[in-house]
A and B are shown apart, each in its own frame.
Chain A
């Protein structure tokens, strides 16, 4: 990406541009990720020109804080989609985990234990999906669809009322804003522990995918599961691993989201699995698996988040249109992927 920096001296630009084009031709799967970055930048510029007050610290802080949970589940989804699978249960895991966590915390259980339980609920559901898919040959989307319904059903059994976290609960501390840069008036750079958690998750996922054997196995399974198996890679273990990662990260996202809102409900997170898939696909991960970048998914999540901001600022676009626009963007990027892979095959 450093080849793109506009600050490069003018005489170096042609060779850099050439090198950039060459690397793109060698690796056309980068194209969708670059398209996502371009889209994000274009949206920022358009938003700044049309509505103003976009490119400033507090708007960016809110973008980070409001989408920390989406970034986390998008990272989890990236692992799964890279192996050629899918996880439709993340939204329901968040619902179950947040309702259970809030109810547990309000009974006076230690906040750390409650948080751990919330994350472990995700791990457990991810493990069940993984076992079904790996050991019983259930198709990933059926297994995780079943988990989605199980999660939502269990959450509804716990409670169908919104559960408010006690005001003095230590879990809320995760969502308390921390000022990093004190700008003029309200224009501050603010983060929450939730945002920092998201950053940690992204860095850890980047490291795991690009610098470890497990990460390479994840890519290999997506490229061709049979080949990976024949090469002696631990396919079984790794396939279990990706669903456990996705479930666990959904649990972490539930903690972050619950801490920010201070409540949980059985209808929390309806449709978030689609947002996570959209973020991952927009970020350049192939739905068939084998190619993609975890940082791309982060960009994808911010594209979706920024779109929400722009739609709210615009005011003339009905909020109902957001899902149609998300669907449209997802479609465009899936078609783009299709075009890229078709060209690769030629």
Chain B
């Protein structure tokens, strides 16, 4: 009997992990695909260079930019904010990189590629800084400040490329998204590495707690000696930087920036991934592991919809349905229907909450 209790509690603990439900959803979606094509999950090895390819690898590759913006969004949402400008920052970053590489015009130069990456990231961080300044220095609502940036960002990208869809040639730059390391796509490994560093920094230092404290109660956190201005600036800067990286990933595979489509409506993907990963939009907590798993789920959803032959332009409708369902599940009215279950989960003792989070990140 004790063993069965232990097993049950272990299962319950697993179900409470932020990345558990997205994982279940991914398995379901992949299952649907397998029913349509039994070979869907097959991963083949390219005999010449030992690289893996297959639908699963494609999904991982496609999830990399979403992971970047979702992790940034998770931190922003934890402070009770929102960053609606990530999609526009992506296109600005891509436009800057492509214009730079087009002017340099040296297809092999690693120096040119790294310079393009550096400039693109500086510009995107700068947009993040502007977002942060509007919110902290001027005290504007996060959603309106970043909405303005979302509006202006695409205009800025169009000005940078003079309204054209700029393309350029540079192999090292393209390797970032299309290349392989140890048989896995470089882009996914870079994304995981960046997320690992961020997760380590915010969870092993007090930074993560401070970010959550601002979201729980801005006034109380200020009285506890946390300076919201610095933290908020850092969070929006990081979100801008990560969106810039996502922009490089987005333009790298085809080496073209499409000023009206690159990063278009990606902010919803980021919000969706964050919410799927268990982070409440009310702020006060974040789950990086959940956001990563949520991003992979969205990439899987995108691929599944295309695979099933539904026009790709219809994907927003599916995402909207998912996000509405999630919001309903999170809402108190639906929660009260499952009152007994919620009461067991809800006591907000900070220590166990932190522990599950660390496990979620390290896994």
Question: Taking beta carbons and an 8 Å cutoff, which residues of A are in contact with B?
Answer: 86, 132, 135-139, 141-143, 145-150, 152-154, 156-157, 160, 266, 271, 274, 277, 287-288, 318-324, 326-328, 330-331, 334-335, 338
Q: With A and B bound together, what is the CA distance between A148 and B151 in angstroms?
A: 16
Which of B139, B311, B314 neighbours the largest number of chain A CB atoms within 10 Å of its CB? B314
A137–B317 CB distance below 8 A: no
- Closest chain-A Cβ to B328's Cβ sits at a distance in Å of 6
B154–A323 CB distance below 8 A: yes
Q: With A and B bound together, what is the CA distance between A294 and B141 in angstroms?
A: 22
Q: With A and B bound together, what is the CA distance between A146 and B144 in angstroms?
A: 17
| A146/B311 contact (C-beta < 8 A), A324-B155, A334-B140, A338-B139 known | no
B159–A324 CB distance below 8 A: yes
Assess whether B23 is interfacial by the CB under 8 Å rule.
no
A328–B163 CB distance below 8 A: no
A153–B333 CB distance below 8 A: no
B143-157 CB mask vs A (1 if < 8 Å, else 0) is 110011111101110
B138–A287 CB distance below 8 A: no
**Interface residue from A137, A323, A327, A330 paired with B331 (Cβ < 8 Å):** A137
| Chain A residues within 8 Å of B134, by CB | 331
B140–A135 CB distance below 8 A: no
| A145/B156 contact (C-beta < 8 A), A150-B320, A274-B147 known | no
B152–A324 CB distance below 8 A: yes
Question: Taking beta carbons and an 8 Å cutoff, which residues of B are in contact with A?
Answer: 82, 134, 138-141, 143-144, 147-152, 154-156, 158-159, 162-163, 265, 268, 271, 281-282, 311, 313-321, 323-324, 327-328, 331-334
A153–B317 CB distance below 8 A: yes
28 pairs of residues in contact across A and B, judged by CB atoms under 8 Å: A86-B143, A137-B332, A139-B281, A139-B282, A142-B281, A142-B323, A142-B327, A145-B268, A150-B316, A150-B320, A156-B316, A157-B317, A160-B313, A274-B151, A277-B147, A288-B141, A318-B159, A318-B162, A320-B155, A320-B158, A320-B159, A321-B159, A322-B155, A323-B152, A324-B159, A327-B151, A330-B151, A338-B139
B332–A146 CB distance below 8 A: no
| A334/B316 contact (C-beta < 8 A), A156-B311, A323-B154, A324-B156 known | no
B271–A323 CB distance below 8 A: no
| Chain A residues within 8 Å of B318, by CB | 153
Determine chain B's interface SS by DSSP, over half rule.
Answer: helix
B315–A153 CB distance below 8 A: yes
A153–B327 CB distance below 8 A: no
B163–A320 CB distance below 8 A: yes
| Chain B residues within 8 Å of A318, by CB | 158-159, 162-163
| Chain B residues within 8 Å of A319, by CB | 163
Determine chain A's interface SS by DSSP, over half rule.
Answer: helix
- Closest chain-B Cβ to A227's Cβ sits at a distance in Å of 20
17 extra A-B contacts, CB within 8 A, seeds A145-B271, A323-B152: A137-B333, A141-B143, A142-B323, A146-B324, A147-B320, A156-B316, A157-B311, A320-B155, A320-B162, A321-B155, A321-B159, A323-B155, A323-B158, A324-B152, A334-B148, A335-B138, A338-B138
| Chain B residues within 8 Å of A326, by CB | 151
A-B contact count (CB 8 A): 120
Q: With A and B bound together, what is the CA distance between A86 and B158 in angstroms?
A: 27
Q: With A and B bound together, what is the CA distance between A335 and B311 in angstroms?
A: 42
**Interface residue from B144, B147, B316 paired with A153 (Cβ < 8 Å):** B316
- Closest chain-A Cβ to B98's Cβ sits at a distance in Å of 16
A136–B141 CB distance below 8 A: no
Q: With A and B bound together, what is the CA distance between A135 and B150 in angstroms?
A: 29
Q: With A and B bound together, what is the CA distance between A111 and B311 in angstroms?
A: 29
| Chain B residues within 8 Å of A152, by CB | 316-317
| Chain B residues within 8 Å of A147, by CB | 320
Q: With A and B bound together, what is the CA distance between A145 and B150 in angstroms?
A: 14
**Interface residue from B159, B311, B317 paired with A160 (Cβ < 8 Å):** B311
| Chain B residues within 8 Å of A150, by CB | 316-317, 320-321, 324
- Closest chain-B Cβ to A147's Cβ sits at a distance in Å of 7
| Chain A residues within 8 Å of B331, by CB | 136-138
Q: With A and B bound together, what is the CA distance between A330 and B143 in angstroms?
A: 13
Q: With A and B bound together, what is the CA distance between A188 and B170 in angstroms?
A: 57
Q: With A and B bound together, what is the CA distance between A143 and B325 in angstroms?
A: 11
| Chain A residues within 8 Å of B82, by CB | 141
- Closest chain-B Cβ to A65's Cβ sits at a distance in Å of 25
**Interface residue from B151, B321, B328, B334 paired with A323 (Cβ < 8 Å):** B151
Q: With A and B bound together, what is the CA distance between A331 and B151 in angstroms?
A: 11
B313–A146 CB distance below 8 A: no
- Closest chain-A Cβ to B69's Cβ sits at a distance in Å of 15
A153–B313 CB distance below 8 A: yes
A146–B320 CB distance below 8 A: yes
| Chain B residues within 8 Å of A322, by CB | 155
| Chain A residues within 8 Å of B156, by CB | 324
Q: With A and B bound together, what is the CA distance between A328 and B311 in angstroms?
A: 36
**Interface residue from A132, A142, A321, A327 paired with B148 (Cβ < 8 Å):** A327
Q: Which residue of B lies closest to A150 (CB)?
A: B320
| A136/B281 contact (C-beta < 8 A), A145-B271, A146-B324, A334-B140 known | no
| Chain A residues within 8 Å of B332, by CB | 137
| Chain A residues within 8 Å of B265, by CB | 149
